[in-house]
Structures are given as C-alpha cells and as structure tokens.
Amino acid sequence: MNQDHDLYLDSIPSYVLGALDDAELAALEAHLETNCAECNAEMLRASRDLEALAAANTPVAPSAMTRARLMAKIDDLPPARPLLGPARGERRGVSWLPLAAAATLAVLAWSGWTQLDLRRQLNELTAQRAADQQQLAALRSDLDRAQYELGRFALTNRILAAPGLQTVRLAGLDAAPQASAQALVSSVEGKAVFYASNLEPQGPDKTYQLWVIAGGAPISAGTFELDETGGGSLVVENLGTDAPIEAWAVTIEPAGGVPQPTGPMVLMGSAA
C-alpha cells in the first residue's frame, strides 16, 4: 500500500505536465479522489512548479475578439454554483412550504412593485426639481446681466451728456493696422466710454487692456473682451488720475490684466 502511495506521489510531477499514460492517469485520479493529504500537498507544490515553468514561454495577450467572444458565451452558460434558485432535480411535490413561499414572494413582488413605482415617481420629481432650479438660476443670471447692461447704458448716457466731452481717436499700430477705436472722455465726471473695432480675437489666456497715459506713466483703465465682430467696449468709471491725460493705448496682456503693460501695443491715440 505504501509502495503504491509512493508511486502516486512520484507520478504527480508528470501528472501536472500531462505526461502520464492513460492507465497511470486513471490510477492517480482515483487515488486523488480519496483526498490524500500528502498527495494534495504535493499537487499544490507541483502546480506551483508548473506555473513557474510556464514562465519559460513568452506570454501572449489574447486577441480582443477572443475575449469578447468568451464574455458573450458565458452570458448563455449557467455558472458553476448559482447564488439563488434551487438546484436542478430537487424534490417535487405539493407542500405548504412552497405555497407559503410563493404567497410570500407574491406579496414581496407586489410590495416591491409599489416601491419601485414610488421610487420612479420620486426620481421624476427630483429630476423635474433639478431642471426647474437650473432654469431659475439661468433666469437670475439673465436678470443680473440685464441690470448690469442697464446701469452701463445709463452711465454711458451720463458721460455722453456731460459738458466738455472730449473725443480721442486711437489708430491701429503695426500689430493691428486695421483696428481703430475712440474714447469719449468726460473730464468733469472723471469717466470715459471706449469703443474699439476690427481687433483680432485672442486666446483664452489673453485679453485686451486699455491704458491712459498721464505724466508719462500708464494707468490701467480696465480690460475688455471682443464680440463676434471684433469690436469691444469699456465704460471707464474712474480715470484714476487728476493729471492731464496725454494719450490712450491698448495692449495685449495675459488674461485678467496686469498692473503695467507688458505685451504688444495695438492701438494708440494722443489726447492732445
């Protein structure tokens, strides 16, 4: 018996390689059915040997088609051990237990359906509420913008109606020869309205910045964006200086503007 066992044990390395002949294979598999602890342990070691030996082969990734086909096939195959449901061939016959279970399932199903319907309604209401809130936020944004534009329009009218309004024309420089602009300046109000046209759009990291030059130093009057026609405007609520303004200029600067000009000058006009 011990001699037989040693033979089984010794044949396990060949078993994992698949080298056993039919008779040897049948004998070993019959022995393994006895759940021999020593042979189980040797099987585990031999499977590790096989895994290590397989590293001698170059791993090859299977095609996506093979994977996809396999995944599709298992959808149609029952798993080895389903989590739910009775195993095939379970005893048949009428008993109270299945009836009670069926009744319970029916109640659970009805209750589940009701819960599902309520959940569906709740989801719909939640979605509707979210859509309403989104619309309300958009309307508020439109209103804020309209109020801002109205204030800007009123301010522009006041500047234009102010006595001693001065018009300064700015001409396009080499960087934008086709561009032009004008500033309508109220010295009384200390404010101005600026309009530019035919400027080239800049990327999101750049902006146009308006400068007033007084006492030889540039003072930022603000930044402005272009509309789709290449035009831009700016209401300057505070010229930022009591000194006489000598000139107006526009440069291209990093988005958000800078305290002192750094980029190319595209428009320039003398206030004199």
Partner 1 sequence: MQLLETSEAELVQRVAAGDNEAFAALFDRHSSRVLGMLIQLLRRRELAEELLQETFLQAWSQADRYREDRATVCGWLLMMARSRALDHLRASRSRSEREERESTESSTPQVTEPVGTGELEARERQRFVLNALAGLSEDQRRCVELAFFKGLSHGQIAAELEQPLGTVKSRILLGMRKLRAALEPVCPT
Q: Tell whether residue 67 is a contact of partner 1 (CB under 8 A).
A: yes
Residues 20-59 that bind partner 1 (CB under 8 A): 20-21, 24, 40-41, 43-59
CA distances from 45 to 21, 52, 140, 203, 241 (A): 21, 11, 72, 66, 89
Whole-number minimum distance, CB 67 to partner 1, in Å? 7
H-run or E-run covering 61: none
**73 vs 88, beta carbon nearer partner 1:** 73
Match 């101005």 to its residue by tokens.
192
Give the HSE-up count for residue 258: Cα atoms under 13 Å, Cβ half-sphere.
15
Among 71, 94, 97, 272, binds partner 1 (CB under 8 A): 71
The footprint of partner 1 on this chain (CB under 8 A) covers a number of residues equal to 49
Q: Tell whether residue 75 is a contact of partner 1 (CB under 8 A).
A: yes
Would you state the structure tokens that stand for residue 223, as one six-digit string?
């930044």
Show the beta-strand stretches assigned E in the chain: 165-172, 180-186, 191-197, 206-214, 217-224, 232-236, 245-254, 265-270
Whole-number minimum distance, CB 82 to partner 1, in Å? 6
Stretch that binds partner 1, among 76-84, 125-133, 198-206, 227-235 (CB under 8 A): 76-84
Q: Tell whether residue 68 is a contact of partner 1 (CB under 8 A).
A: no
Whole-number minimum distance, CB 108 to partner 1, in Å? 22
- Across the beta sheet with 245-254, the strand order is 217-224, 206-214, 245-254, 265-270, 165-172, 180-186, 191-197, 232-236
Q: Tell whether residue 106 is a contact of partner 1 (CB under 8 A).
A: no
* 268 CB neighbour count, 10 Å cutoff: 17
Give the HSE-up count for residue 77: Cα atoms under 13 Å, Cβ half-sphere.
9
Whole-number minimum distance, CB 6 to partner 1, in Å? 11
Site string for partner 1, 83-102 (x = CB under 8 A): x-------------------
Match 């024309």 to its residue by tokens.
169
Q: Tell whether residue 73 is a contact of partner 1 (CB under 8 A).
A: yes
Q: What SS3 class is residue 167?
A: strand
Residues 148-207 that bind partner 1 (CB under 8 A): none
**68 vs 143, beta carbon nearer partner 1:** 68
Q: Tell whether residue 14 is a contact of partner 1 (CB under 8 A).
A: yes
Q: Tell whether residue 5 is a contact of partner 1 (CB under 8 A).
A: no
Which parts of this chain interact with partner 1 (CB under 8 A)? 10-11, 13-14, 16-21, 24, 40-41, 43-63, 66-67, 69-71, 73-75, 77-83
